[in-house]
Amino acid sequence: MKTTLVVILKLVVFIICLALIFIGQMTVGKLELGMMLLGLAGLLGLLYDYNRKYV
């Protein structure tokens, strides 16, 4: 049950991060750049969490 909840939570975070990147990429400005950087940081965090068990 716990692993299912964690997987669903990671999937939701992944979708939100992708949405931040896509929405920020459509326009130009400092706020949009911040949105894209936040989305990128989220994706890197998910990648780190995935690879942490293999190191």
Question: Residue 55: what pLDDT?
Answer: 85
Q: What is the pLDDT of residues 12-44, one digit of tens each?
A: 999 999 999 999 999 889 999 999 999 999 999
| Whole-number Å distance between alpha carbons of 38 and 43 | 9
Helical residues (DSSP H) of 1-55, grouped into ranges: 2-26, 30-51
Question: Residue 5: what pLDDT?
Answer: 96
Entry pTM:
0.88
